[in-house]
């Protein structure tokens, strides 16, 4: 039966593929295809993990103290029975043999199937056995992680097999750091039940440049393993088991999008200059050094935001040391071949937890209000040794290219003072240790209304400012950016938001300081003309968005746009006013052709 699920569009385009349901707690499991010649050894890996777990359970049973409750032994019996049950072992081998999934993926796929069967059971006792299967699978996954290394998934045969049926991932939630691993994955689209348009999961999905829908509420419950699914990333619609006509229509759109993409690709080396000769800097947002390649290929003239926190996340307690960070920053700097790289100090907290606790746990059990808690610079200042380590690593990278430092979430003058003291101390330590570094520009993120309202203070201390519109909208409107329940109220067009942005740009320019936007608004073509009209000349976005924004800039007449700005800013309905004022067919667009 065909049906639709509605969510929030976060990453444009159309994906068509078979659904792969993954439990949120298992999205960190590796997903890749193996070659046909590797099937046998992959099944062997699974068997050997099963033997290891059987031994573990046997040992546990043998060493059980005499006074242990009898239920414990019975439980181990159940686990042993499940371990050898054909619904787990044979069916998992089937995924490997027929689909060429790697063993971990096959195991989680089969767990999903079993979990659903358990959920549907009438008998409460049997329903609760789901937890036992999960525990057995957990043991198997751990055994495989300790076992012989994983086969090379990059052989051409494996890649070819992956081309058979495209796959889309369906999960209740994916933590942003887990999303990162999908940069090199087999999935051509994503659907999650939770999340807002500028949640970090959505941001990373967007950076993958594949269609995605978040906040689709019941999607992971309604969609079944292997269902054919269309993801309309422009409209935020998921069509499950589409009819042939609908499918054909979406395939047609897919081809059109591909053609448009190719056309835009030709703008790569065209400088971003408006019709009236205003040069605009188009920078890239990256999450890891490897993303610098995509930035260069997209024609970025530098990195405007390196979200360094992704290096700190999912590390089971340990944090990256100075040398590890230095290597990563240097890699990004070198990859950008002389172009500037803006490294933001660690911005963990809220929907970017340090460890792998799931988003829902984070939301409900930990900080009462994590977006307003000990996050970003607040956390850095509370961990001075960690902060100085990061500052030293960034400074050391400056010896290899043009580095700029960006500090997130500043609000208080005292935080500004402490930040500069920490920078001063880090420099002194490097000087004492004879480590080379260059003087670097230091900038502040403007992402809390309080910072925007006292901007002159910031401009006195910093070399440049960068508007973090994602958080600025969240804090101005009191809307959790990651909460799909209030996503309809998360409105970048709210007049208060626009006024804060316009003021920040105008004041920074008046004081001769650099100002850019690195929130998602910068890469959204609905805002390109408006931001140009406000005087913005530096935009930082995902590499995949650069070409489309550049096209709008090439067609814009900045002077004419400025004339229309007061109408938009004075409007109660800026979205529609803006659409009219800057629309195709308006004199500005006519000039642009």
Catalytic residues: 200, 518
Report residue 14 CA to chain centroid gap: 19
What contacts 89, CB < 8 A, 6 or more positions away?
Answer: 46, 50, 83
Q: How far is the CB of 517 from ligand PEP (least distance, A)?
A: 8
Distance CA 497, CA 204 (A): 24
Q: How far is the CB of 347 from Mg ion (least distance, A)?
A: 6
Q: How far is the CB of 476 from Mg ion (least distance, A)?
A: 13
* From the list Mg ion, ligand PEP, none, partner contacted by residue 540 (C-beta under 5 to 8 A by kind): none
Residues contributing to the site for Mg ion (CB under 5 A): 447, 468, 471
Q: Could you give the count of Cα atoms lying within 13 Å of 154 in the half-sphere of its Cβ?
A: 1
User: 112 or 173, CB closer to ligand PEP?
Assistant: 173
* From the list ligand PEP, Mg ion, none, partner contacted by residue 469 (C-beta under 5 to 8 A by kind): ligand PEP
Return the residue of 227, 347, 415, 484 that touches ligand PEP, per CB under 6 A. Answer: 347
Q: Is 593 helix (H, G, I), strand (E, B) or coil?
A: coil
Return the residue of 173, 447, 480, 557 that touches ligand PEP, per CB under 6 A. Answer: 447
User: 334 or 442, CB closer to ligand PEP?
Assistant: 442
* From the list Mg ion, ligand PEP, none, partner contacted by residue 178 (C-beta under 5 to 8 A by kind): none
Q: Which of 483, 181, 172 has its CA nearest to residue 313?
A: 181
User: 358 or 474, CB closer to ligand PEP?
Assistant: 474
**Does residue 468 bind ligand PEP (CB under 6 A)?**
yes
Q: How far is the CB of 309 from ligand PEP (least distance, A)?
A: 8
* Binding residues among 291-310 for ligand PEP as defined by CB under 6 A: 305, 307
**Does residue 471 bind ligand PEP (CB under 6 A)?**
yes
Return the residue of 192, 199, 380, 469 that touches ligand PEP, per CB under 6 A. Answer: 469
* Binding residues among 236-295 for ligand PEP as defined by CB under 6 A: none
* Binding residues among 536-565 for ligand PEP as defined by CB under 6 A: none
Q: Which of 545, 544, 546, 533 has its CA nearest to residue 574?
A: 533
- Token pair listed for 317: 């307690």
Query: Kind and range of the H or E element at 432?
Result: helix 413-432
* From the list Mg ion, ligand PEP, none, partner contacted by residue 518 (C-beta under 5 to 8 A by kind): ligand PEP
- Cβ atoms of 350 and 375 within 8 Å: the answer is yes
User: 267 or 394, CB closer to ligand PEP?
Assistant: 394
* From the list ligand PEP, Mg ion, none, partner contacted by residue 307 (C-beta under 5 to 8 A by kind): ligand PEP
Query: Kind and range of the H or E element at 461?
Result: helix 455-461
Query: Kind and range of the H or E element at 442?
Result: strand 441-446
What contacts 159, CB < 8 A, 6 or more positions away?
Answer: 33
Distance CA 284, CA 341 (A): 9
What contacts 2, CB < 8 A, 6 or more positions away?
Answer: 239, 240, 241, 242, 243, 246
Distance CA 591, CA 593 (A): 5
The residues of the shown chain that bind ligand PEP, judged by CB under 6 A, are 203, 305, 307, 347, 447, 468-471, 518-519
């Amino acid at each position: 039966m065909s049906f639709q699920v509605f969510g929030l569009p976060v990453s444009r385009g159309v994906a068509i593929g078979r659904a792969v349901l993954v439990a949120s707690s298992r999205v960190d499991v590796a997903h890749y295809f193996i070659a046909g010649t590797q099937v046998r050894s992959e099944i062997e890996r699974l068997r050997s993990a099963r033997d290891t777990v059987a031994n573990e359970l046997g040992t546990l049973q043998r060493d059980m103290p005499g006074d242990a409750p009898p239920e414990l032994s019975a439980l181990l019996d159940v686990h042993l029975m499940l371990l050898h049950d054909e619904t787990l072992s044979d069916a998992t081998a089937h995924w490997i043999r027929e689909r060429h999934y790697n063993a971990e993926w096959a195991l989680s796929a089969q767990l999903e199937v079993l979990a659903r069967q358990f959920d549907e059971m009438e008998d409460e006792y049997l329903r609760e056995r789901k937890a036992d299967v999960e525990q057995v699978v957990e043991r198997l996954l751990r055994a495989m992680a300790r076992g012989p290394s994983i086969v090379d998934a990059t052989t051409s045969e494996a890649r070819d097999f992956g081309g058979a049926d495209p796959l889309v991932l369906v999960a209740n939630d994916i933590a942003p750091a887990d999303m990162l691993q999908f940069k090199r994955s087999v999935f051509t689209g994503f659907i999650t039940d939770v999340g807002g348009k500028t949640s970090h999961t959505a941001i990373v999905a967007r950076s993958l440049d594949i269609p995605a829908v978040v906040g689709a509420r019941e999607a992971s419950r309604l969609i079944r393993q292997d269902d054919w699914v269309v993801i309309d990333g422009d409209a935020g619609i998921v069509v499950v088991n589409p009819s042939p006509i609908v499918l054909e229509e979406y395939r047609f759109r897919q081809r059109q999008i591909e053609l448009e993409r190719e056309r835009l690709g030709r703008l790569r080396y065209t400088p971003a200059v408006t019709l009236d000769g205003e040069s605009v800097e188009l920078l890239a947002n990256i999450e890891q050094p490897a993303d610098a390649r995509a930035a260069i290929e997209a024609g970025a003239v530098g990195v405007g935001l390196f979200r360094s926190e992704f290096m700190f996340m999912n590390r089971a307690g340990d944090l990256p040391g100075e040398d590890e960070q230095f290597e990563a920053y240097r890699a990004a700097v070198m990859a950008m071949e002389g172009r500037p790289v803006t490294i933001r100090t660690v911005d963990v907290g809220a929907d970017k937890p340090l460890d792998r606790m799931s988003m829902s746990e984070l939301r409900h059990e930990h900080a009462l209000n994590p977006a307003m808690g000990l996050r970003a610079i607040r956390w850095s200042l509370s961990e001075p040794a960690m902060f100085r380590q990061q500052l030293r690593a960034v400074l050391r990278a400056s010896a290899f290219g043009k580095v700029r430092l960006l500090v997130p979430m500043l609000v208080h003058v005292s935080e500004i003072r402490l930040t500069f003291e920490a920078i001063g101390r880090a420099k002194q330590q490097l000087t004492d240790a004879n480590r080379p570094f260059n003087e670097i520009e230091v900038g502040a993120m403007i992402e809390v209304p309080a910072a925007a309202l006292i901007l002159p203070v910031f401009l006195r201390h910093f070399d440049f400012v960068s508007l973090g519109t994602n958080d600025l909208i969240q804090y101005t409107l009191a809307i959790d950016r990651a909460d799909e329940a209030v996503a309809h109220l998360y409105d970048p067009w709210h007049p208060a938001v626009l006024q804060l942005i316009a003021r920040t740009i105008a004041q920074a320019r008046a004081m001769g300081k650099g100002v850019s936007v690195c929130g998602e608004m910068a890469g959204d073509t609905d805002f390109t003309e408006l931001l140009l009209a406000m005087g913005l000349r530096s935009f930082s976005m995902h590499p995949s968005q650069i070409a489309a924004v550049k096209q709008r800039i090439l067609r814009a007449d900045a002077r004419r746009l400025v004339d229309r700005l007061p109408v938009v800013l004075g409007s109660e309905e800026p979205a529609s006013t803006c659409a009219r004022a800057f629309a195709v067919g308006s004199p500005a667009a006519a000039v642009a052709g």
